[in-house]
Amino acid sequence: MVTIKSKREIEIMKEACKLTAQTHEVLKEAIRPGISTLELDKIAEDFIRKNGGIPAQKGYPSGIKGVPNFPGTICASINDEVIHGIPSKRVILHEGDIIKIDLVVLKNGFHGDAARTYIVGKPNSEEDQKLVEVTKQAFFEGIKYATKGNRVGDISNAIYEYVTRNGFSILKEFQGHGIGRQMHEDPGVPNYGKPGKGMRLEPGMTIAVEPMVIAGKPDIFELDDGWTIVSDDGSNTAHYENTILITEKEPEILTLG
């Protein structure tokens, strides 16, 4: 179901989104060679709870028999892992690793959702650097079309065209989404699609736009943990996401600084 938020609801939701952004800032400072993704997870959980939020991904149901609910506050995905990596004390960051952190904060009944990709220390290659930059820019290319009267497909197409024009692949099996009182609401926001198609955007809609990009071929598979999604060819990946608000004019990015 699509929910159009009132001014009052948006004000409350902005608090959750602000805490999401602040948590990312704290994590950015903590990322260094030698730290484990479980340590990063603990830093995020402590910060969120200290500031009146709840880590919304923690305990998220897998929906698959035999696969435990998601155990982490953050999804921490390294190199060929695109999304849904499980924080672990055995996963230690090394110089040149590409780490994706995705996190959702619930506060006062509303969610904020954002993902960032960082290279630990110096990049291993110019291509790695370009991958991270193109993925971030793809978000901004997409939301140029996130305006009243446009359609979801306009955003999707802009993201797809920008990423593929730069020589990378879009992961198609997962997508952005409406967000509000629920972590996942309608509409789905794919990272590929036809301009002029899909749901029409209206002021008061809040959506998470999130390009997921693979340096090599677009194929993926799921690890035996039932969560982690990795590139099939082992190539590196990136992810960038913000929660945005559709307004009468330009979209407002709710999970940035």
Binding residues for Mg ion, per CB under 5 A?
102, 113, 115, 241
Q: Select 211 or 218, whichever has its Cβ closest to Mg ion.
A: 211
Least Å distance between CB 114 and Mg ion? 6
Angle at Cα 90 formed by Cα 215 and Cα 231, nearest 5°?
Answer: 20
Q: Select 43 or 82, whichever has its Cβ closest to Mg ion.
A: 82
Q: Select 61 or 66, whichever has its Cβ closest to Mg ion.
A: 61
Least Å distance between CB 210 and Mg ion? 6
Least Å distance between CB 83 and Mg ion? 8
Q: How far apart are CA 254 and CA 242, in angstroms?
A: 7
Q: How far apart are CA 43 and CA 103, in angstroms?
A: 12
Q: Select 169 or 243, whichever has its Cβ closest to Mg ion.
A: 243
Length of the chain in terms of residues written: 257
Q: How far apart are CA 156 and CA 132, in angstroms?
A: 19
Least Å distance between CB 249 and Mg ion? 25
- Residue 6 contacts residue 245 (beta carbons within 8 Å): no
Alpha helix stretches (DSSP H) within the chain: 7-30, 37-50, 126-143, 152-165
